[in-house]
Structure formats: structure tokens, C-alpha cells
């Protein structure tokens, strides 16, 4: 049974002599009852530090900015909605004929705050309508590169101020998901040119759109061809092999690279499967579940963005400003 400090279940023996009053009362560092973070003095150890970090991070929340690039009709909006299990991607209800295919590549961003199990995340989804939809797609990646560099520049301007904000707003693109059409052949020149240019400034994650249109044999062969194309043209997609310093990270990244490009199936309708409501696509052969969650590497994407891509941009811009 819980008792007060210094007491027991045995009868107390009262001493009539006056006890000496200490000049300074000491607080023992003992295990404190109650939830973590509620006691001023409690058990001091690694677990306590981890609990403090977890509580502080959950209060602050997370920020993640994702960009989706690909031709119209490849399921970019559906994939993002499936990924985060919420309607977070902007999609016109009934676009007019003039709005369906933009004449030039446009960059549209929309921000949502989603919450799951008490954890809040500020998610920004950047879409690029018009990419690859024209007959002449020369330099169609320029608006995308400009947008990514503008976010680096905005962060750099806040960072070099004498009086900086306690938390700089982060609009930098942490990951660019590039949708490859499920042709079953080799990568197109447009795909190669885009990934060659963008992989130098942002984390590029290639995915095979609408992978359920391919058979298992066609999908495996298509993946192998894409991997050969990436290796032949020296295109470094996420996870980059240059950052495999830790042996455990190297083993994990090698398993991820074997699955590059990811084969994705998006769905925005729920179906009943074994008594559960799941997102999926219904076919004559059954239901293809669209709930996949490669979100365990969000922090890794953010770290590489800050320590590698943004750092390269910062060094280049500061060297330019120091030139006579």
C-alpha cells in the first residue's frame, strides 16, 4: 500500500525530544509516481530524457512538404490521399475544357494540418499540373526547379537575419514523388532528364503509377529496366548511397533500393474486408488494398534535405555574395 515518505505500516514510536530543523531541505532523486513530465523531480535517466523529447515534439508537431510530379491521369492526387488517409490533395471538382491541360507547368501548393493519435503534422502538398502533357515538353522542369530553389532562398533569408525567429517556417520540399507511366518499357527521355536535374537539389522518389495495370511478371521486368536506366545515367534517387555511413542504415537502405521504383496503387473508396473498412480498388478478382505506409522515413527525408541539398544551396549562394 502506498504510504508517506518515512512512514510504515508498523505502529509509530513518538519521540518527545525536539528534532533539529535542517537549514536547507534536500529533495531526494527517487522514482516519482504519476505520468512522465508531471513531476518536478523524479527518476533521472535516459528514459526520462526520451519522454521529455517525445512530449515536447508532440506539442510542437511536425512539418512535411511533399511534391508530386507526373502527367495528368496517373493518380497523383489519389495516391497522396491514400498515403495520408485524408483528402489532402487539391483536385478540381469539374474543370472546364480550358483548365484540363495548362499551357505551361504550374505549381500549386495546399497545406493541411492532420492529426493521428495525438500527433499533429503540418502537411504541404505541391502539385505540378501541366508537366509532360504538351507535345513540346522542352524545359518543362524549369518552373519546378525555380520553385524548389525559391523555398531554399526563403529559408536562407530567415536564417541569416541578425534577430532570427525561434522556429523558422520550413517550406522546403522534403521529397519529390515522380510518377512513371506504367508502359512496361524503358524510361522516357523526359523521365531521365527530369530525374537527372532534380535529384541534385531534392530527394526524388520514383514510383510506378497504377501498378495494378501490369501483371506481376511485367512489373518485375519494368522495375529491373528502370533500375538499369538509373544506374546507366548515374541518377541518384532516394535513398542515396553516399549517406550509408551506419552499417544498419546501409542494410535498411539496400532493402529499400531493391524495391525502387515503388509500385503504387491508390484508392479513395472504402470496402469491407474481413470485418474492416479499408481503402482499396475493387476488381472482378477481389479488392486491392491501397493502404501502404512508407512514412517511417519522413525524418530521414527531412535530414537529407537540410544537411545535403539545402547546405549545397546555402554554400553556393554565400559564395556568390562574397565575390567581388
Contact 309, 202 (CB under 8 A): yes
Phi then psi for 271, rounded to 5 degrees?
-135, 160
Cα–Cα distance for residue pair 3/111, rounded to 1 Å: 52
Which whole-number Å values give the CA distances from 230 to 71, 115, 292, in the listed order?
20, 36, 24
* Residues in the chain, pLDDT under 70: 1-45, 84-104, 267-269, 271, 277-281, 284-296, 324
The DSSP-derived string for 197-248 is HHTTTS-EEEEETTGGGS-HHHHHHHHHHHHHHHHHTT--PSSPGGG--SHH
Q: What pLDDT does 32 receive? A: 45
Q: What pLDDT does 232 receive? A: 94
Helix (H, G, I), strand (E, B) or coil at 123: strand
In which residue are the cell numbers 505500516 written?
Answer: 9
Q: What pLDDT does 43 receive? A: 59
Q: Considering the entire predicted model, what is its pTM?
A: 0.76
Q: What pLDDT does 89 receive? A: 63
Q: In the chain, which ranges are continuous DSSP H helix? A: 46-60, 76-84, 97-100, 142-159, 189-198, 216-232, 247-259, 298-304, 310-322
Grid cell of 235 as nine digits: 541518377
Contact 138, 79 (CB under 8 A): no
Residues in CB range of 86: below 8 A, 6 or more apart: 112, 114
The DSSP-derived string for 170-186 is -----EEEEEEP--SSP
Residues in CB range of 100: below 8 A, 6 or more apart: 72
Please give the distance of CA 245 from its chain centroid, rounded to a whole number. 21
Grid cell of 210 as nine digits: 497504377
Cα–Cα distance for residue pair 184/88, rounded to 1 Å: 30
- The full set of domains in the chain, from first to last, is 49-69+79-89+102-127+170-322 (3.40.50.300)
As beta bridge partners, residue 123 has 64, 112
CA within 13 Å, CB half, 9: 2
Amino acid at each position: 500500500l502506498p504510504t508517506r515518505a518515512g512512514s510504515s505500516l508498523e505502529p509509530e514510536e513518538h519521540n518527545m525530544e525536539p528534532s533539529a530543523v535542517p537549514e536547507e531541505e534536500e529533495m531526494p532523486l527517487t522514482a516519482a509516481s504519476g505520468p512522465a513530465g508531471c513531476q518536478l523531480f523524479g527518476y533521472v535517466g535516459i528514459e526520462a530524457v526520451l519522454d521529455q523529447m517525445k512530449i515536447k515534439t508532440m506539442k510542437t508537431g511536425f512539418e512535411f512538404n511533399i511534391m508530386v510530379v507526373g502527367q495528368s491521369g496517373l493518380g497523383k492526387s489519389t495516391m497522396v490521399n491514400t498515403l495520408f488517409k485524408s483528402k489532402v490533395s487539391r483536385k478540381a471538382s469539374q474543370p472546364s475544357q480550358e483548365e484540363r491541360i495548362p499551357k505551361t507547368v504550374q505549381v500549386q501548393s495546399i497545406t493541411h494540418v492532420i492529426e493521428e493519435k495525438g500527433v499533429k503534422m503540418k502537411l504541404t502538398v505541391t502539385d505540378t499540373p501541366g508537366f509532360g502533357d504538351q507535345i513540346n515538353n522542352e524545359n518543362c522542369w524549369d518552373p519546378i526547379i525555380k520553385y524548389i530553389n525559391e523555398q531554399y532562398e526563403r529559408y536562407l533569408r530567415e536564417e541569416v537575419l541578425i534577430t532570427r525567429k525561434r522556429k523558422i517556417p520550413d517550406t522546403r520540399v522534403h521529397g519529390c514523388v515522380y510518377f512513371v507511366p506504367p508502359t512496361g518499357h524503358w524510361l522516357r527521355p523526359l523521365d531521365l532528364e527530369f530525374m537527372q536535374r532534380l535529384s541534385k537539389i531534392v530527394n526524388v522518389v520514383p514510383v510506378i503509377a497504377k501498378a495494378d495495370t501490369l501483371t506481376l511478371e511485367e512489373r518485375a521486368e519494368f522495375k529491373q529496366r528502370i533500375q538499369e536506366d538509373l544506374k546507366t545515367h548515374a541518377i541518384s534517387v532516394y535513398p542515396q548511397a553516399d549517406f550509408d555511413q551506419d552499417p544498419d542504415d546501409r542494410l535498411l537502405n539496400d532493402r529499400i533500393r531493391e524495391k525502387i521504383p515503388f509500385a503504387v496503387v491508390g484508392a479513395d473508396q472504402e470496402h469491407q474486408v474481413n470485418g474492416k473498412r479499408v481503402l482499396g480498388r475493387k476488381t472482378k478478382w477481389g479488392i486491392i488494398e491501397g493502404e501502404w505506409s512508407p512514412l517511417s522515413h519522413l525524418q530521414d527525408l527531412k535530414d537529407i534535405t537540410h544537411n545535403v541539398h539545402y547546405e549545397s544551396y546555402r554554400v553556393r549562394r554565400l559564395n556568390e555574395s562574397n565575390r567581388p
